[in-house]
Amino acid sequence: MNTAFGRKFSPYDIHDAVGEKDFCTRQAVVEWPEFMMHDAVSFANWPTLLALFPEFQLTVQLGTEVIASLNSIPLAAPPVSQLDDGGWDWALETGISGKRVERPANCLCGLQIGICREMQGKGLAGMMIALMKALAQKHGFSRLIIPVRPAGKALFPLISMEEYCRRKRPDGLPADPWLRAHVKCGAQMLFPCLSSMSISGSISEWKTWTGMDFPQSGKYCIPGALVPVEFFLENDKAEYIEPNYWIAYSLAEA
């Protein structure tokens, strides 16, 4: 279904998931690390997100090709100073449980922006952020919150999320590309959510997901992971607790 945003995002066509049974297969193909596809909360709730909130899931097409997509969820959130340390998982579970008990939402939470590899670096990040803000306003929300995954943090897995997100370029903008894009679009940087995603698996599963060997227990730096993954060989288990970073937009005057 075409979503009405006027001509603001021309020449792109914006579509939501209303009435779209194959929306998952039409979303932009983003090359996430394999282990990121095994967050238990996401696995259990993603189909429900699409079923309960189709109007908050968008794809962007150029001609017939899907080049980007976004996912979001309305929820009842506390003041921004009290946003939950559970970040992404918390937002997904809170939005779905709130919908089921008819708890009124007071903001939109962005879950994901995906841009196809061929279109990255072509200015689409700012447009997708603007689209998410417009979506929030379209549905009457004056606040947009996002637990951002600063992808550049994967290059610095041994420093804290707080320290990484404080890093600035000479022009004063954040060093991380996604945080920088958000700040340029008017976001307020808040604080880390240190338990935003939890991904557990057996040692064999982690070997399959990463192509690596883990000969002893301990913490391992894995490509694509923002912090080390902890392995417990005696329990045949490894766990990755991903930190993200809360940001917020005030849309009251937008």
**pLDDT tens per residue, range 194-225:** 999 999 999 999 999 999 999 999 999 999 99
Mean pLDDT for the stretch of residues 186-195: 98
Whether residue 82 is found in the same domain as residue 184: yes
- Residues paired with residue 237 on neighbouring β-strands, in sequence order: 232
| Residue 204 three-state SS | helix
Q: What is the pLDDT of residue 120?
A: 84
d(CA 86, CA 90): 5
Whether residue 90 is found in the same domain as residue 178: yes
Number of domains in the chain: 2
* Domain interval for residue 224: 200-239
Whether residue 43 is found in the same domain as residue 100: yes
pLDDT tens readout for residues 63-91: 888 899 999 999 999 999 999 999 999 99
Answer yes or no: are the C-beta atoms of 76 and 103 closer than 8 Å.
Answer: yes
**Residue 7 domain flag:** no
Count CB-CB contacts under 10 A for residue 221: 12
Mean pLDDT for the stretch of residues 127-141: 96
The mean of the pLDDT values for the chain is 92
Whether residue 191 is found in the same domain as residue 204: no
pLDDT above 70 coverage of the chain, percent = 91
d(CA 191, CA 204): 34
- pLDDT bucket at 4, cuts 50 / 70 / 90: low
Q: What is the pLDDT of residue 254?
A: 44
Read off the tokens for 88: 């992404």
Residue 170, CA distances (Å) to 134, 162, 174, 175, 234 in order: 31, 19, 9, 9, 47
Residue 135 has pLDDT above 80, yes or no: yes
Residue 146, CA distances (Å) to 9, 71, 174, 187, 202 in order: 21, 11, 16, 10, 30
Looking at per-residue pLDDT, the higher value among 13 and 102 belongs to: 102
Answer yes or no: are the C-beta atoms of 77 and 108 closer than 8 Å.
Answer: no
The DSSP letter of residue 5 is B
Q: What is the pLDDT of residue 117?
A: 85
**Residue 80 domain flag:** yes
Answer yes or no: are the C-beta atoms of 222 and 212 closer than 8 Å.
Answer: yes
Residue 1 has pLDDT above 80, yes or no: no
Q: What is the pLDDT of residue 251?
A: 95
Whether residue 104 is found in the same domain as residue 207: no
**Residue 117 domain flag:** yes
Q: What is the pLDDT of residue 20?
A: 67
- Residues paired with residue 201 on neighbouring β-strands, in sequence order: 238
**Residue 41 domain flag:** yes
* pTM for the predicted model, two decimal places: 0.92
d(CA 173, CA 180): 6
Whether residue 32 is found in the same domain as residue 73: yes
Residue 86 CB partners (closer than 8 Å, separation 6+): 93, 193, 195, 196
Residue 32 has pLDDT above 70, yes or no: yes
d(CA 234, CA 218): 11
Residue 165 has pLDDT above 80, yes or no: yes
Residue 6 has pLDDT above 70, yes or no: no
The domain spanning residue 17 has which CATH number? 3.40.630.30
Whether residue 80 is found in the same domain as residue 133: yes
Of 227, 223, 228, nearest to 210 (Cα)?
223
